[in-house]
Chain A
Amino acid sequence: MTTTVPLEWVLVLAAALFCAGVYGVLSRRNGIAALMGIELMLNAVNINLVAFWRYLEPEAATGQAFALFVYAVAVAEAAVGLALIIAIWRTRDTVVLEDLDLLKG
Chain B
Amino acid sequence: MTIEQGLFIAFGAITLGAALLVVTRRNVFHAALFLILSCFGVAGLYVLLEAPFLAAVQLFIYVGGISTLIIFSITLTRDGVNSNIAGRNRQWWAAALVAVALFGALGGVLGWMVLNHDWGAAPGPVPEHSTAILGTTLMNPEGLALPFVVASVLLLVALIGAVTIARER
Instruction: Provide the main secondary structure of the chain B interface.
Output: helix
Neighbour of A19 across the interface among B46, B74, B99, B157, CB < 8 A: B99
How many B residues touch the partner, as a band? 35 or more
Determine whether B125 belongs to the interface, using a CB cutoff of 8 Å to chain A.
yes
Determine whether B141 belongs to the interface, using a CB cutoff of 8 Å to chain A.
no
Q: How far is the CA of A13 from the CA of B45 in the complex (A)?
A: 11
Residues of B within 8 A of A97 (CB): 89
Mask for B119-153, Cβ within 8 A of A = 1, else 0? 10011111100100110111000001001000110
Q: Let me know if B161 and A80 touch, CB within 8 A.
A: yes
Instruction: Provide the main secondary structure of the chain A interface.
Output: helix
Q: Let me know if A5 and B98 touch, CB within 8 A.
A: no
Mask for A32-59, Cβ within 8 A of B = 1, else 0? 1101110110010011001101111111
Using CB atoms and an 8 Å cutoff, list the residues of chain B in contact with chain A. 2, 4-5, 8, 12, 15-16, 19-20, 22-23, 28, 31-32, 35, 38-39, 42, 45-46, 48-51, 53-54, 57-58, 61-62, 65-66, 69-70, 73-74, 76-77, 79, 82, 85-89, 91-92, 94-96, 98-100, 102-103, 106-107, 110, 114, 119, 122-127, 130, 133-134, 136-138, 144, 147, 151-152, 154-155, 157-159, 161-163, 165-166, 168
Can you report 11 residue pairs joining A to B where beta carbons are below 8 Å apart?
A9-B12, A13-B15, A19-B99, A23-B95, A26-B92, A29-B88, A47-B45, A54-B49, A68-B138, A75-B61, A87-B166
Using CB atoms and an 8 Å cutoff, list the residues of chain A in contact with chain B. 1-5, 7-13, 15-24, 26-30, 32-33, 35-37, 39-40, 43, 46-47, 50-51, 53-62, 64-65, 67-69, 71-80, 82-87, 89-90, 93-98
